[in-house]
């Protein structure tokens, strides 16, 4: 049986800072060659905070997609100051 590969769903929020969308989209498209699905980008509280929901899929197996999600979390932790991140997968939706 062929199990579908889940997409990665990342909820990212925190103090607004320049270049958030560019940094994340460059990470998703360039090094991992993923298929980008959706972006919801909302400025909160007079543009002092951001709230992004990203969803993307890679064309490898499930284990590889989960490793990419871990690498994404490390990129966020190392490069976006004071940002909070939650990651889920499309096959874990309630």
End-to-end alpha carbon distance in the chain: 23
CB of 9 closer than 8 Å to CB of 69: no
Using CB atoms within 10 Å of the CB of residue 83, give its burial: 0 to 12 exposed, 13 to 18 middle, 19+ buried.
Answer: middle
Domain boundaries, the chain: 35-94
Three-state DSSP state, 76: helix
More confident residue, 27 or 31: 27
Beta strands in 1-94 (DSSP E): 8-15, 35-44, 49-57, 84-89
For the residues 11-39, what does the mean pLDDT come to?
74
Contacts of 6 (CB under 8 A, 6+ apart): 57, 62, 65, 89, 90, 91, 92
pTM, 2 dp:
0.76
pLDDT value of position 40? 61
pLDDT in tens, 37-86: 556 655 555 567 778 888 887 777 888 888 889 998 998 898 887 889 99
């Amino acid at each position: 049986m062929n199990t579908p590969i889940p997409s990665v769903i990342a909820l990212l929020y925190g103090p607004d800072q320049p270049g958030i969308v560019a940094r994340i989209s460059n990470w998703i498209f360039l090094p991992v060659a993923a298929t980008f699905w959706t972006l919801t980008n909302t400025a909160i509280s007079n543009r002092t905070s951001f709230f992004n929901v990203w969803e993307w899929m890679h064309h490898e197996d499930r284990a590889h997609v989960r490793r990419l999600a871990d690498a994404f979390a490390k990129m966020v932790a190392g490069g976006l100051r004071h940002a909070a991140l939650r990651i889920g997968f499309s096959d874990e939706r309630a």
